[in-house]
């Protein structure tokens, strides 16, 4: 199959590796590169044969809307659309795509590992046939799937980003250093990595996007992004992809864990 992946690092790289390993003809675009390709016309020869679009833009609802509206104009009508339901619900994402019954929400949280778990969240518009197509596609990549209710963050991103938000509050309040917060959580609770290091891997803009989506959906203070998280994103301190987040990374570190 021909797979088009558009979104942010580290998500596109991890999903792209799974698609390539499964033998799919896979094209990856960072969001800004996709816009440039459409403007130059170089994207048009590719789109006619796309079987599956995997959309992985989690920065904000507005950014996701812009991307999906652009993709919807050039995708074949029967292409399956797998939309990351982290900053918005799958139902909202489907509303921005022609033939919304083909849109299936999903959620992944890097690092995926060799046999990752993918949460599937059918939108209100999703039909049973396309939900089955989505489950079969992920199974073909070697991933297990679970069906979860639609809503920003789904299960893991909701929990992980709330944990990161609380850890950021603890850092802002001077409870402990970033290193000691991460050490306490990694060694004391057996997390795969500390929450602040995890935030740097995911991208602080992605974490903020999830928290903003949860706060917009539920309006509860527990989902309100902490001021330090907002300030760091405003400063461009996005984590590994920018070279600085809660930690400083050498040039070329990228999204390597």
Tens-digit pLDDT profile for residues 13-30: 999 999 999 999 999 999
- Those residues whose C-beta lies under 8 Å from the C-beta of residue 57, and which sit 6 or more positions away, are 6, 7, 8, 31, 63, 64, 67, 84, 87
Rounded to an integer, the average pLDDT of 75-93 is: 95
Residue 210 and residue 153 in contact, taking contact as beta carbons nearer than 8 Å: yes
Band of the pLDDT at 177, cuts 50, 70, 90?
Answer: very high
- Checking if the pLDDT of 47 tops 70, the result is no
- Checking if the pLDDT of 39 tops 80, the result is no
Burial of 150 (0-12, 13-18, 19+ CB in 10 A): buried
Low-confidence winner among 55-69, 86-100, 133-147 (lowest mean pLDDT): 55-69
Q: Considering the entire predicted model, what is its pTM? A: 0.90
pLDDT averaged over the chain?
92
The predicted structure's pLDDT at residue 252:
67
The predicted structure's pLDDT at residue 134:
98
Rounded to an integer, the average pLDDT of 82-105 is: 96
**What is the number of other CB atoms lying within 10 angstroms of the CB of residue 195?**
28
Low-confidence winner among 27-31, 103-107, 136-140, 210-214 (lowest mean pLDDT): 27-31
The predicted structure's pLDDT at residue 137:
97
Band of the pLDDT at 43, cuts 50, 70, 90?
Answer: low
What residue ranges define each of the domains in the chain, with the CATH number in brackets?
Answer: 2-147 (3.40.50.720), 156-234 (1.10.1040.50)
- Checking if the pLDDT of 233 tops 60, the result is yes
The predicted structure's pLDDT at residue 61:
87
The predicted structure's pLDDT at residue 104:
98
Low-confidence winner among 12-21, 27-36, 71-80, 196-205 (lowest mean pLDDT): 27-36
* β-strand partners of 4: 27, 53
């Amino acid at each position: 199959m021909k797979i088009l992946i558009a979104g942010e690092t580290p998500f596109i790289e991890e999903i792209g590796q799974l698609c390539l390993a499964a033998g799919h003809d896979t094209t990856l675009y960072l969001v800004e590169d996709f816009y440039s390709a459409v403007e130059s016309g170089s994207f048009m020869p590719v789109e006619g044969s796309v079987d599956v679009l995997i959309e992985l833009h989690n920065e904000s609802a507005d950014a996701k809307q812009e991307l999906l509206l652009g993709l919807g104009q050039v995708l074949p009508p029967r292409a399956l659309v797998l939309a990351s339901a982290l900053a918005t619900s799958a139902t909202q994402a489907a509303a921005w795509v022609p033939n919304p019954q083909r849109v299936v929400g999903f959620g992944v949280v890097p690092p995926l590992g060799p046999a990752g778990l993918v949460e599937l969240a059918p939108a209100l518009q999703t039909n049973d046939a396309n939900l089955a197509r989505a489950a079969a596609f992920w199974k073909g990549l070697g991933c297990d799937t679970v069906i979860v209710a639609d809503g920003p963050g789904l299960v893991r991103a909701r929990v992980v980003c709330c944990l990161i938000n609380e850890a950021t509050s603890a850092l802002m309040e001077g409870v402990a250093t970033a290193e000691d917060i991460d050490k306490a959580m990694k060694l004391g609770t057996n997390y795969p990595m500390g929450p602040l290091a995890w935030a740097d891997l995911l991208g602080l803009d992605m974490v903020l996007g999830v928290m903003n989506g949860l706060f917009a959906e539920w309006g509860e203070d527990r989902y309100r992004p902490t001021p330090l998280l907002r300030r760091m994103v405003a400063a461009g301190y996005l984590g590994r992809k920018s070279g600085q987040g809660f930690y400083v990374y050498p040039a070329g570190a990228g999204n390597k864990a």
